[in-house]
Amino acid sequence: MIRLQGIRKAFGRTTALDGLELDVREGEFFCLLGPSGAGKTTTLKTVAGLEQPDSGTVELDGRDMAGVEPYDRGVAMCFESYALYPHRSAYDNLASPLRSPRHRLPAAEARDRVGAIAELLGIRALLDRPVGQLSNGQRQRVALGRVLVRPARAFLLDEPLSHLDAKLRQQMRAELKAIGAVQHTTTLYVTHDSVEALALGDRIGVIRDGRIVQTGTREEIWYRPCDTEVARAFGRPRINLLPGAVAADGCFRSADGKVELPIGAAASPGTEVLIGVRPRDLALGEGPGHELTGTVYVTEVLGRSVEVTVRLGEQHVSLVAPRADTAGLRPDDPVRLTVRPENLLLFEADRPERPGRRIGQ
């Protein structure tokens, strides 16, 4: 269990963490998602005791960690830079925790353990090589192995798959959660890749400017994003956000008046809003829900499905439809779109100082 409360940390004049609150439950796989510079790595290092917060408390398993040295915290961390010992072989890097005073194992046991982990990560054949001779992807796996090889109160993983090639990354992503050690160890996983976060996280925390803006399961984050930025962060193609205002009758009306949608949420007339709908929640043709009409702008084949960009007045929206529904669509063809009311998200309009918050339940 990891609990961070009111963590502040500044490096000189730049604020890295600004009152960060984080609660990772026992045994949970928690993904911390955010752009670079949001404070993800600083958060991990604060948990590990490598950075001292200016204020706030770090708790591990209910114990306050103030003044506890990193080696006494019992956490393992995988660095984004790998931080492998360049003067040693891959084997010695993996075995390093098992030779330390705190996690020492008898040599034979350590050898078995390192072998098992190397097998798991597909680096068995590389063990004798100095790490300088390994590719980035191989080094990253050694770095991950050095974490998994030992028991820990928590695993802290800083973008551990970022340097793998696409195919291997997908494979490792699938395997990572199946690894026994990961299953029963609290894991705080940092990434800037929303697909990774959705695939791996039991819960996801979205971090921005040194603060957690939303925490929740993948469903909560996906269906009830707290603001437009979180909504934009998940899903490709991106969520459609149409600007407009709440009309006197309580409906949403776009600025040019071409799009009109009833809204369930309570918003006073005249409020500037954005209405959001994900590309996969828009359907072509007749169906249940609200109807919109527009013209085809461009179509793009994604494989089994097709991304269609539709012009609605002055706005463009994209939708993803099965190939069969899009047969024969040409630019400028008129089309009908339907959207179920429960798939509509309503946000305040974006402001320069912060993205628009979601309105309603």
Q: Does 76 bind other proteins (CB under 8 A)?
A: yes
Residue with Cβ nearer other proteins (63 or 99): 99
CB 63, min distance to other proteins, A: 17
Residue with Cβ nearer other proteins (104 or 351): 104
Element (DSSP H or E) covering residue 339: strand 334-339
CB 92, min distance to other proteins, A: 11
* Mask for 8-47, x = binds other proteins (CB under 8 A): -------------------------------------x--
Q: Which residue from 164, 167, 160, 198 is spatially nearest to 182, judged by alpha carbons?
A: 160
Query: Is residue 206 a contact partner of residue 230, using CB atoms and an 8 Å limit?
Result: yes
* Mask for 246-265, x = binds other proteins (CB under 8 A): --------------------
Q: Pick from 27, 56, 70, 235 the residue near other proteins by CB under 8 A.
A: 70
Q: How many residues bind other proteins (CB under 8 A)?
A: 26
User: E-assigned strands of 39-180?
Assistant: 55-60, 63-64, 75-78, 154-158
Q: Pick from 17, 31, 33, 48 the residue near other proteins by CB under 8 A.
A: 48
Q: Pick from 19, 28, 50, 251 the residue near other proteins by CB under 8 A.
A: 50
Q: Does 151 bind other proteins (CB under 8 A)?
A: no
Q: Pick from 1, 68, 83, 168 the residue near other proteins by CB under 8 A.
A: 83
Pairing, β 203-208 against β 29-33: parallel
**In degrees, to the nearest 5, what angle opens at C-alpha 215 toward C-alphas 214 and 220?**
95
Burial of 105 (C-beta count, 10 Å sphere; 0-12/13-18/19+)? middle
Instruction: Give 298's contacts (C-beta < 8 A, 6+ positions apart).
Output: 308, 309, 331
CB 203, min distance to other proteins, A: 24
Q: Euclidean distance between the first and final Cα of the chain, in Å?
A: 30
Q: Pick from 12, 13, 67, 69 the residue near other proteins by CB under 8 A.
A: 69
CB 95, min distance to other proteins, A: 10
- Angle, in degrees to the nearest 10, between helices 136-148 and 90-99: 20
**In degrees, to the nearest 5, what angle opens at C-alpha 273 toward C-alphas 269 and 276?**
130
Burial of 152 (C-beta count, 10 Å sphere; 0-12/13-18/19+)? buried
CB 163, min distance to other proteins, A: 14
Residue with Cβ nearer other proteins (94 or 335): 94
Interface region with other proteins, contact rule CB under 8 A, candidates 71-79, 166-174, 194-202, 272-280: 71-79
CB 83: neighbour CB atoms within 10 A?
14
Residue with Cβ nearer other proteins (71 or 223): 71
CB 106: neighbour CB atoms within 10 A?
9
Examine residue 243 and say whether the peptide bond preceding it is cis (omega within 30 degrees of 0).
Answer: no
Query: Is residue 350 a contact partner of residue 231, using CB atoms and an 8 Å limit?
Result: no
Count, residues in the chain? 361
Interface region with other proteins, contact rule CB under 8 A, candidates 30-38, 98-106, 118-126, 333-341: 98-106
CB 170, min distance to other proteins, A: 27
Q: Does 146 bind other proteins (CB under 8 A)?
A: yes
Q: Pick from 85, 112, 217, 301 the residue near other proteins by CB under 8 A.
A: 85
Interface region with other proteins, contact rule CB under 8 A, candidates 25-33, 97-105, 120-128, 236-244: 97-105
Please give the residue ranges that form the binding site for other proteins (CB under 8 A): 45, 48-50, 69-71, 75-77, 79, 81, 83-87, 96-97, 100-103, 132, 146, 150
